[in-house]
Amino acid sequence: MKQRQSGPRYAANQLITLRVTPEEKFRLREHAALIGVSLSAYIRTKIFGGRPLIPRTDECTIRELRRMGGLLKHHFSTLREADVSEDFLMLHENLLQAIRQKIDAIGAGNHDREEDQM
């Protein structure tokens, strides 16, 4: 039988008060919702660092592009085995490169970095 642990699952139980304007609070809540984390988690990450925060929509787009790239890579290896023309292989290679570049651009184009520069 499993023993239950007493106390909170997360040890962050100290409260810090931060005064912001209503507009700043709205922006903070908006950014946290966009990324899909709580306001506290968002602020902790912004203050203490950690992995870059990527909006959920960007995460889904990157996942889909990776899936498409994997399928295209599998198709690419099949075409090589079938001895298709070099032009056709280059077309597929360029498409794979474009997918990689798009994934990099989405990952680097973090909404938070754009907001910080304004």
Residue 40: per-residue pLDDT: 87
Low-confidence ranges of the chain (pLDDT < 50): 1, 111-118
Would the CA dihedral through 38, 17, 111, 101 be positive or negative? negative
Alpha helices in the chain (DSSP H): 22-35, 39-48, 56-81, 86-108, 111-117
